[in-house]
Amino acid sequence: MWLGLFILFYSFIFNDGKHFNGGTIRWAPVDPYDNSSSLDITVTQSYSWTYPYIKCANNVPISTSGFTGANTNLICVVDCSTNGGYSSAPIDILTNCTSASSSLNMMTSERSKNITLSAGAHFYLAYRGNAWLPLNDPAQTGLDWSIVTYIDLRKRSDGFINTPPVATIVSPQYAIVNRTIQINIPVSDANAGDDVRCRWSKYTSGYRRRKRSDNEEHVKHPSKGKKELVMAAVVLRVQMVAHVAVLVVFLQRVPV
């Protein structure tokens, strides 16, 4: 059983140009010790956008002219038979601008929403789109993108609902092909004593899933719950060379 949060940072574009720069979707139980048959969780979406192409305003991106049709819902992509009623009250992807920098050409936006799900729900929720930035190494174009979170309201063996760890990192991260770089990923975890690990993800066939690899890159401290931070696919974007960077980060709690 895998519990926890699973974040993908992808860089991509819509058909009309480069305006979305990735982000994260995270969630936390409002009360991890709640034993009721329905539970409240807070889902927080954080995205980054090209600025001022996308305006710093409420209800990003539909507050920018030309994007009025860009609203959509987060959708269940995997394990939807146990979505705890999510599909009857889905969350849209609209967020409010929280900061903007003209020099960095970047704007960030965020919004938290509470939703009620039935106890024991577990499913993968995603913000999906298409027309990713093309990758150059290996060359691929026309890719779909997906930012995914794994919601799991089943109780841990130690009796409460897990709160996934949170990584604060700006997306995308750029690297040069065949050159080593160091990317620091600050991570925090609300559950005292849980162990947060990093690993590189490996693609596995099947719908937008990545599988666990045996390589654990970094281990912090021993504990009752192990969690993993997973990174993948660093391909680069260098100006004028058009290499594109994709950094994928997963956070998951794994069986001890």
Question: How far, in Å, are 67, 179, 216 from residue 102 at the CA level?
Answer: 20, 29, 38
Residue 113 is a binding residue for ligand NAG (CB under 6 A): yes
What is the C-alpha to C-alpha distance for residues 163 and 26, in angstroms, rounded to an integer? Answer: 10
Q: Tokens at residue 3, please?
A: 């519990």
Residue 114 is a binding residue for ligand NAG (CB under 6 A): yes
Residue 208 is a binding residue for ligand NAG (CB under 6 A): no
Asked if the peptide bond before residue 29 counts as cis, ω within 30 degrees of 0, the response is: no
Q: End-to-end CA distance of the chain, in Å?
A: 10
Q: Do residues 131 and 15 lie in contact, with contact meaning Cβ atoms separated by under 8 Å?
A: yes
Residue 72 is a binding residue for ligand NAG (CB under 6 A): no
Residue 158 is a binding residue for ligand NAG (CB under 6 A): no
Residue 177 is a binding residue for ligand NAG (CB under 6 A): yes
Residue 33 is a binding residue for ligand NAG (CB under 6 A): yes
Of the candidate residues 99, 112, 130, 168, the single one contacting ligand NAG (CB under 6 A) = 112
Nearer to ligand NAG, 99 or 130 (CB): 99
For ligand NAG, which stretch binds (CB under 6 A), given 27-35, 126-134, 164-172, 198-206? Answer: 27-35
For tokens 């990584």, the residue is 167
Q: Do residues 201 and 247 lie in contact, with contact meaning Cβ atoms separated by under 8 Å?
A: no
What is the C-alpha to C-alpha distance for residues 248 and 110, in angstroms, rounded to an integer? Answer: 19
Instruction: Tell me the closest approach of the beta carbon of residue 78 to ligand NAG, in angstroms.
Output: 25
**With contacts defined by CB under 6 A, how many residues of the chain interact with ligand NAG?**
14
Beta-sheet pairing, 122-129 with 75-78: antiparallel
Residue 168 is a binding residue for ligand NAG (CB under 6 A): no
Nearer to ligand NAG, 27 or 250 (CB): 27
Site residues (vs ligand NAG, CB under 6 A):
30, 33, 35, 40, 42, 58-59, 96, 112-114, 137, 177-178
